[in-house]
Amino acid sequence: MTSYLPPSERIWWKVPVGKQEIIWIGIALVWCLIMFFMMPYWHVFGKQNLSNEAYQTTPAKFQARVDEMVAKYQVGEEAGIPIVKPPVGSDVYLLGRLWQWYPILELEKDKSYRIHISSMDWQHGFSLQPVNINLQIVPGYEMVVTMTPDQAGDYAIVCNEYCGIGHHSMLGKIYVKEN
Ligand code: CUA
């Protein structure tokens, strides 16, 4: 019997496993184990995994934090969305909802900020381009990432988790300015 033909016996699971199949299962298992141990390894020695924190919240509580920050530090507006310049080193709140990231943030280069991100309604994906930082954003939890932008420029936030008919239009912005 070979592993690429249909089983000749009905009670196929009692037939000994073919040699090729054993080899492939072995290769897959070894690869699974390598990837499993690479996860903590990359976290410590690589740049792939963020050391982010997560806390429980509610959409109402989080919305209140965002509104408070916008009221204090708004410096402009773009297409109806406020541009906010929070103080260096402060806690910054960004929300995702159907279908926008709110507000637009203006940060200073080489300064650290604690960015809190949560969703008001649905699962969204925070993907910061072009630096490729990715986070799952779900309602009820706030993700906190300490960011220190090291290049000035305009960054785009792309939603990379399908969230309905307006998913493709769910784009946000972060401006990083030289200080
Ligand atoms: Cu939000 Cu896709």
Model pLDDT for residues 3-19, shown as the tens digit of each residue: 677 777 778 778 888 89
R_g over Cα of the chain? 23
Contact at 8 Å (CB) between 104 and 85?
no
| pLDDT score for 2 | 62
CATH of the domain at 152: 2.60.40.420
Domain end, chosen from 5, 27, 45, is at 45
> Ligand 1 within 6 A of 159 CB?
yes
Map residue 18 onto helix, strand or coil: coil
134 part of a folded domain: yes
Residue keyed to tokens 């009670």: 11
Check residue 17 and give its pLDDT.
Answer: 85
Q: Using a CB cutoff of 8 Å and minimum separation of 24, what contacts does 165-170 make?
A: 166/98, 166/99, 167/99, 169/99, 170/96, 170/98, 170/99, 170/100, 170/101, 170/124
The atom of ligand 1 lying closest to the CA of 160 is: 2
Asked whether the bond before 42 is cis by omega within 30 degrees of 0, the reply is: no
For residue 108, what are the contacts with CB-CB under 8 A and spacing of at least 6? 88, 149, 176, 177, 178, 179
Number of domains the chain is built from? 2
| pLDDT value for 18 | 87
Q: Which amino acid is at 44?
A: V
Q: Are residues 27 and 106 in the same domain?
A: no
Shared domain for 31 and 85, answered yes or no, is no
Predicted pLDDT at 5? 77
CB neighbours of 46 closer than 8 A, spacing ≥ 6?
none
Ligand 1 lined by 138 (C-beta under 6 Å) = no
Cα 142 from Cα 58, distance rounded (Å): 9
- Looking at the structure, tell me whether residues 78 and 150 fall in a common domain: yes
**Atom number of ligand 1 nearest to Cα 99:** 1
Rounded distance, CA 106 to CA 62, Å? Answer: 20
Same domain? 69 vs 27: no
163 CB less than 6 Å from ligand 1? yes
- Is there a single domain that holds both residue 110 and residue 170? yes
Residue linked to tokens 């402009």 = 76
Domain that holds residue 114: 52-177
DSSP H or E segment with residue 73: helix 59-73
Q: Is the CB of 147 under 6 A from ligand 1?
A: no
Q: What is the mean pLDDT of the chain?
A: 91
- Per-residue pLDDT tens digits of the chain, which is 179 residues long: 566 777 777 787 788 888 999 999 999 999 999 999 998 888 888 776 677 899 999 999 999 999 999 999 999 999 899 999 999 999 999 999 999 999 999 999 999 999 999 999 999 999 998 888 889 999 999 999 998 999 999 999 999 999 999 999 999 999 999 87
Residue 131 counted as domain residue: yes
Give the pLDDT score at 50.
74
Find the 67 Cα to ligand 1 centroid distance in Å.
Answer: 21
Q: Are 134 and 127 in contact (CB under 8 A)?
A: yes
Which residue owns the Cα nearest ligand 1 atom 1?
Answer: 124
Burial class (CB in 10 A: 0-12, 13-18, 19+), 67: middle
